Amino acid sequence: MNGLSNFRKATYVLIAVACVCVCAALAVFYVRPAKNETFTFPGSVRVQGVKIGGLTYRQAQKKLDRKIKTVPYRFDLVVRAGDKSVRLTQNNFNFILDYEKALDSAREGVNPLSGNDFSVPFRVQPESVRKQVARIAGLIDRKPRNAEVKSFRPFSEKRFSFKTGRSGVSLDRISLERQLFSFIDSRGSVGEISAITDRIKPKISQRYLKKNLKRLSSEKSYSYNTENGTINMKLALKACNGSTIKPDEVWSFNDSTGNTNSTANGYRKAEVILRKKLTQGVGGGICQASTTIFKAAALANLGIEERHNHHWASGYTLSGEDATIDYPSLDLKLKNNFKTSVFIESRLQNRSLEVNIYGVKPKEYDRVKLYSRNYDIEYGKSFKTDTFRVLYKNKKQVKKEKICTSYYSLAGYHGVRQADEGSYNN
């Protein structure tokens, strides 16, 4: 019996607590109306000068969105950066207007007797600030310009003249963003900001070029060819002389010489290999010029983009180090993988072919060697040659790469040409 009495008492207590909670909720609802269609603002209430009296919360919000198009704040700001200045006003930015907060304030703080005019809280849109900073950076930023060779005069006492570099300028974007946010948040009407800029030095100075621009390689060969063949070599080397290869640029022998099969370009008939036979053809002999350039390029550590071997191993160079040309199908192409330009100097004097390549040698190595290896020799048929380039630093090997594989015919009593046992490029 006592247990049942206690149960009833507990039930009464719970019911009483629930009633109190419901009454409290009704009291809050009565004192602070919810955002619904039953509440209307008194007739004297304004938001930013716009009358909202007699409107529901939703109606008032729509009216404000329609009437208030610009932020109720004007300013005139000048941003200075170096010798440039940019004028900014509120029209250069987008703002986020908090109508809901203004209406909440009007609903909670309205005085029905005197009326009130409430302002709309606002904040600048971050993306619009970043957009203006990017626009100013576009006016201020300037990339540095490296010093470079202005002119190249092959075989002269003073081969190079130089063009001075120029420092770059970079706007400190993060700093300017912070300054703009700070000014707008302070609600200043007139102001001036001094933007921070950073000076960027060029990576390559004129002093650096003058000190480090050296001869990377030198290669010579001698012409035992006919007079016409030797003249063809001279014309080809003259056409290539003075070539400049910029960083990441690919240089073409055929583009430099033009059509070497044309007598209109001065080339003459001499002995050539055509369809695996020796015959007379215009441009015969130029392969010794391309071969001399190829070997100089390999020793200068230039990239070999295209190179072709002869049908038979050539007698004027070691096995695997020739480079045949047949305009326009067979070409010699070199790529400059350095950070600065390289320069080709080439000529023929008294039947002596000479090719020098100039540039800035990377610090990773100090010498270059070429090696070649003959293999798969089948006398009377053919043999192969692999040619390697090896880089050294303080006489220690730092890199070894195969730069080409050659396939030579031994038909017709042709012999195996001697491979290159390696010789230092001085």
Q: Is 231 a residue whose pLDDT tops 60? A: yes
Give the pLDDT of residue 275.
64
DSSP lists the bridge partners of residue 411 as: none
Give the pLDDT of residue 35.
52
Amino acid at 166: R
Lowest-confidence pick of 67-71, 156-160, 276-280, 288-292 = 67-71
Q: Is 68 a residue whose pLDDT tops 90? A: no
Q: Sort strands 46-47 and 117-118 into parallel, antiparallel or unpaired.
A: parallel
The CB density around residue 273, as the number of other CB atoms within 10 Å, is 17
Q: Reduced to 3 states, what is the DSSP secondary structure of residue 159?
A: coil
What value does the mean pLDDT take over residues 53-76?
85
- pLDDT classification of 64: cutoffs 50, 70, 90: confident
Cβ atoms of residues 292 and 360 within 8 Å: no
Q: In whole angstroms, what separates CA 358 from the centre of its chain?
A: 26
Residues with Cβ within 8 Å of residue 402, at least 6 apart in sequence: 386, 387, 388
Give the pLDDT of residue 283.
93
pTM over 0.95? The answer is: no
Query: Mind listing the pLDDT tens digit for each residue in 30-44?
Result: 334 445 568 888 888
Reported residue count of the chain is 426
Cβ atoms of residues 228 and 284 within 8 Å: yes
Lowest-confidence pick of 110-114, 172-176, 228-232 = 110-114
What value does the mean pLDDT take over residues 298-314?
97
DSSP lists the bridge partners of residue 376 as: none
Protein fold of 36-146+166-203 = Ubiquitin-like (UB roll) (3.10.20)
Give the pLDDT of residue 25.
44
Strand ranges (E), 223-351: 244-245, 250-252, 269-274, 277-282, 303-306, 333-335, 342-349
Query: Mind listing the pLDDT tens digit for each residue in 186-218?
Result: 999 999 999 999 999 999 999 999 999 999 999
Q: Reduced to 3 states, what is the DSSP secondary structure of residue 257?
A: helix
Give the pLDDT of residue 332.
98
Residue ranges per structural domain of the chain: 1-31, 36-146+166-203, 207-424
Give the pLDDT of residue 1.
44
Give the pLDDT of residue 115.
56
Q: How far is it, in rounded angstroms, from Cα 325 to Cα 106?
A: 89
Question: Treating both helix axes as pointing N-terminal to C-terminal, what angle do 227-240 and 286-299 enclose, rounded to 10 degrees?
Answer: 40
Question: Which percentage of the chain shows pLDDT scores above 90?
Answer: 71
Give the pLDDT of residue 372.
95
Query: Mind listing the pLDDT tens digit for each residue in 153-166?
Result: 999 999 999 999 99
Cβ atoms of residues 267 and 230 within 8 Å: no
Give the pLDDT of residue 36.
53
What value does the mean pLDDT take over residues 354-364?
97
Which residue's entry shows tokens 């290896």?
A: 373
What value does the mean pLDDT take over residues 166-183?
96
Higher-pLDDT residue of 193 and 97 is 193
What value does the mean pLDDT take over residues 296-300?
98
Higher-pLDDT residue of 227 and 96 is 227
Lowest-confidence pick of 226-240, 268-282, 345-359 = 268-282
Higher-pLDDT residue of 48 and 144 is 144
What value does the mean pLDDT take over residues 260-274?
91
The two three-digit tokens of residue 139, written as one number: 């006016």
Give the pLDDT of residue 26.
41
Task: Tell me which residue of 334, 392, 332 sits closest to 361, measured CA to CA.
Answer: 392
Higher-pLDDT residue of 373 and 71 is 373
Question: Which percentage of the chain shows pLDDT scores above 70?
Answer: 88
> Cα dihedral sign for 21, 26, 27, 32?
positive
Q: How far is it, in rounded angstroms, from Cα 103 to Cα 229?
A: 96
Q: Is 57 a residue whose pLDDT tops 70? A: yes
Kindly report the average pLDDT of the chain as a whole number: 88
Q: Reduced to 3 states, what is the DSSP secondary structure of residue 337?
A: coil
